Amino acid sequence: MIDTESGSFPSSAMRVVRRLLQSWPAAVSLLILLGVVGMAIFAPWVTSSDPTRGNLRERLQPPSVEHLLGTDEQGRDMLTRIIWGGRIALQVGVFSLLIGLVVGVTMGLLSGYYGGWVDTIVMRATDLILAFPYILLVIAIVSILGPDIFNAMIAIGVRIIPEFARVVRSIVLSIRSKEYVLAARAVGASDRRIILRHVLPNCTAQIIVLGTLMLAGAILAEASLSFLGLGAQPPEPSWGTMVARGRDYLVTHPHLSIAPGMAILIVVYSLNVFGDWLRDLLDPQID
C-alpha cells in the first residue's frame, strides 16, 4: 500500500539509529537538542529562581558557584533566564513550524494533485510571501498584528508556508502519474484516500528534512524579532531580548550578550548539522 522500499518500521528505525552512531557530529547534535528540549520542558524544576523577578542587590555579578553565568542588570540569574529562554525559542519555533507545515503541506498536496486554478492561486500566494526578505515579511506581519510572542509565531509560520508548499507540490507532480496512483484511481479510490494513503507518505522524508532546517530558521527569526523589540517583550526571557539588553553593558559585562547568543548559536548549529545529516540519509543521490 504505502510505497516505501525500506520495509517495516522497526527495521528502518534500527537502520537510522545505526547510521546515526556512525556519524558523531549528528549524534552529538541530537544529544544537545534533546538536552535543550529536556531543559525547556523541565525549566521550572531544573531552575530555582524566578526568571523574571530580579534582586537589585545582586545585579551584574560575575559568574560564581551560586550564579554559574552571573546575574544581569536586574540581578536575575543568567543561567535561569537562558534555560527559560530555551522554552520561548522552542515554543515559538515548534508552533510556527507546525503552522507552516500543516498549511504548507496541505496547499502543496492540493495544488500539485488538482492543478488548474487551485495551483495558480497557491503558487501566486507563495510568490507573494517569497517576494519579501524573510525577516522583513515577519516584521511586516507583526506590525499588522501587534508585537508579541503569539503574533511572532503566526508571522514566522506564514513565512514557512511556501517552503513546504513548493517542495510538496513538486513531489506530487512527479508521482501523480505513477502506476500505483493510477492503479488506486482505477480501482475507485477517492481523491482523499489517494492523497492521504499514496501521495503524502512519499513526501514525509522531505518534510522531515525541511522541517528540521525550517525550525532552525524559525528560532533565528524569533531571536531576531525579539532583538528588534518586536517579539517577546520584557521581562520575558527571550534569547534575542537578552542579547539586546546586554548591549548597554557590553564594555563592562560582555557575557550578558555573549551567553544568550551562544545559546542561539548552539541550538541553531545543532539543528543545521542534524538536518544536513538527515538530508544525506534520506536523499542518497546528493552524496
Among 102, 136, 182, 208, binds another protein (CB under 8 A): 136
Distance CA 120, CA 125 (A): 9
User: Which of helix, strand or coil describes residue 77?
Assistant: strand
Does residue 31 bind another protein (CB under 8 A)?
no
Among 26, 109, 152, 273, binds another protein (CB under 8 A): 273
Which range of residues in 4-12, 61-69, 197-205, 261-269 is near another protein by CB under 8 A? 261-269
Which range of residues in 35-43, 97-105, 179-187, 216-224 is near another protein by CB under 8 A? 216-224
Does residue 209 bind another protein (CB under 8 A)?
no
Q: For residue 125, give the nearest of 159, 157, 148, 96 by alpha carbon.
A: 159
First to last CA, the chain: 29
Among 244, 245, 277, 278, binds another protein (CB under 8 A): 244
Contacts of 66 (CB under 8 A, 6+ apart): none
Residue 174 beta carbon to another protein: minimum distance, rounded to whole angstroms: 12
Cell reading at 203: 513526501
Residue 271 beta carbon to another protein: minimum distance, rounded to whole angstroms: 8
- Within 10 A of 227 (CB to CB), how many other CB atoms are there? 22
Q: Return the exposure string of 153-181: e unless at least 16 CB atoms fall within 10 Å of the residue's CB, then b.
A: bbbbbbbbbbbbbbbbbebbeebeeeeeb
Chain residues that interact with another protein, rule: CB under 8 A: 25, 124, 127-128, 131-137, 139-140, 143-146, 216, 220, 223-224, 227-230, 240, 243-244, 246-247, 250-251, 254, 257-258, 261, 264-265, 268-269, 271-273, 276, 286
